[in-house]
Amino acid sequence: MQIYLNGQLVSRDDAKISVFDHGFLYGDGVFEGIRVYGGNIFRLEEHIERLYESARAITLEIPLTQAELIQATVETVAANGRRDGYIRLVISRGVGDLGIDPRKCKRASVVIIVDSIALYPEELYKKGIPLVTASHRRIPADCLDPRIKSLNYLNNILAKIEATNAGCPEAIMLNTQGRVAECTADNLFIVKRRVISTPHLVEGALAGITRGAVLELARAAGFVTQEGPMTQHDLFTADECFLTGTGAEIVPVVAIDGRVIGAGQPGDVTRQLLDAFRELRLKDGTRVDYASS
Ligand code: PMP
């Protein structure tokens, strides 16, 4: 495995970051998770755009232009010869002192890891999964905007622990108003009378790249889509429910907090969107030239 670390490709054993890096000390940084499908990096430019927006929101200067980071990402995928997998881009504040002042960190650290991905078993796409609602609420935007994909994931991790304890692969997170925000690492959708809805971003959701692709696919297929407030009542009375994310793609949800959703099996609309997404993922993105590395 070859890892991009501050402009150089190094082996896994040599890919080391200082313990004085504020990414390690304080979770001060931003990241992206991206998929490679058949030599195609899915929506790379959108991921890079979101990364730079997250960085800007925390006044973190990425020491590369967007074009340079795209090139470095493509080259790292090619150097690893990986046609299907997962890319992790991490930009941390860099090396500083033990105080939190980011001005002490003179240069951000840039890391690109290309690895395999642990997928949900195919059976779950056929049977659907149960979710539980976490007691931990999503951090409100006036504390730390959930639209920033930062290295601070403790809020999500605490909710994920609740999911695991309840025997569920994911948990729903409500915002501090008690409305649905998203899951711990996925966005959430419902279908009611063939209208496809997902919480608005101001409810405390990340602007998921998969979420955006699914909204586009739904509209292209003639569905009405809605982004607005969503309550637990909306979930419990939905015809269908599914989650979306880079790793998950589109996973049907068949139970929430022990209640059966819809008919208790993956719905037709969910299935149709998953099929459409699986077609899109091979086409929509940046092609890697493996011969050049
Ligand atoms: N919400 C959160 C909190 C996430 O971490 C992720 C995964 N990055 C998502 C939603 C889904 O976003 P995407 O489709 O871009 O992977």
Instruction: Give 68-99 pLDDT, tens digit per residue.
Output: 999 999 999 999 999 999 999 999 999 999 99
pLDDT confidence of 217, banded at 50, 70, 90?
Answer: very high
- Does 37 have pLDDT greater than 70? yes
Domain covering 122-280 assigned CATH 3.20.10.10 in the classification:
yes
The tokens describing 136, both together, are: 């931990």
Q: CB of 170 closer than 6 A to ligand 1? A: no
Residues counted in the chain: 293
Query: What does 77-97 look like in DSSP terms, one character per residue?
Result: HHHHT-SSEEEEEEEE--B--
Looking at the chain, the whole-number percentage of residues with pLDDT higher than 90 is 97
Span 276-282, mean pLDDT?
95
Q: 198 C-alpha vs ligand 1 centroid, how far in Å?
A: 13
Contact 132, 168 (CB under 8 A): yes
| In the chain, where the domains are located | 2-117, 122-280
pLDDT at 180: 98
Give the rounded percent of residues in the chain with a pLDDT score beyond 70: 99
Query: How far, in Å, is the centroid of ligand 1 from the Cα of 258?
Result: 24
Does the pLDDT at position 118 exceed 90?
Answer: no
Substitution candidate for ligand 1 out of 186, 198, 280 with most atoms within 8 A of CB: 186
Task: Tell whether ligand 1 has an atom less than 6 A from the beta carbon of residue 185.
Answer: yes
Helices (H) and strands (E) in the chain, counts: 8, 16
Q: Are strands 249-256 and 129-133 parallel, antiparallel or unpaired?
A: parallel
For residue 109, the cross-strand partners are 92
Q: State yes or no: pLDDT of 48 exceeds 90.
A: yes
Atom 4 (ligand 1): residue with closest C-alpha? Answer: 185
pLDDT at 291 over 90: no
Fold of 2-117: D-amino Acid Aminotransferase; Chain A, domain 1 (3.30.470)
Contact present, 5 and 51 (Cβ < 8 Å): no
Report how far Cα 1 is from the mean position of its chain's Cα atoms.
Answer: 23
pLDDT at 293: 66
Low-confidence winner among 117-121, 152-156, 192-196, 221-225 (lowest mean pLDDT): 117-121
State phi, psi for 215 to the nearest 5 degrees: -60, -40
List, by residue number, the catalytic residues.
149
How far apart CA 159 and CA 134 sit, in angstroms, is 5
Distance CA 159, CA 154 (A): 9
HSE-up of 38 (CA within 13 Å, CB side)? 8
In the predicted model, is pLDDT for residue 166 greater than 80?
Answer: yes
Checking if the pLDDT of 46 tops 90, the result is: yes
Nearest to 86 by CA among 33, 11, 48, 46: 33
Rg over alpha carbons for the chain, rounded to the nearest Å, is 19
Label residue 265 exposed, middle or buried (CB < 10 Å: 0-12, 13-18, 19+). middle
pLDDT, residue 120, reads 87
What pTM did the predictor assign? 0.97
Using DSSP's 3-state secondary structure scheme, residue 68 falls into: helix
Instruction: Report whether residue 182 contacts ligand 1, using a CB cutoff of 6 Å.
Output: yes
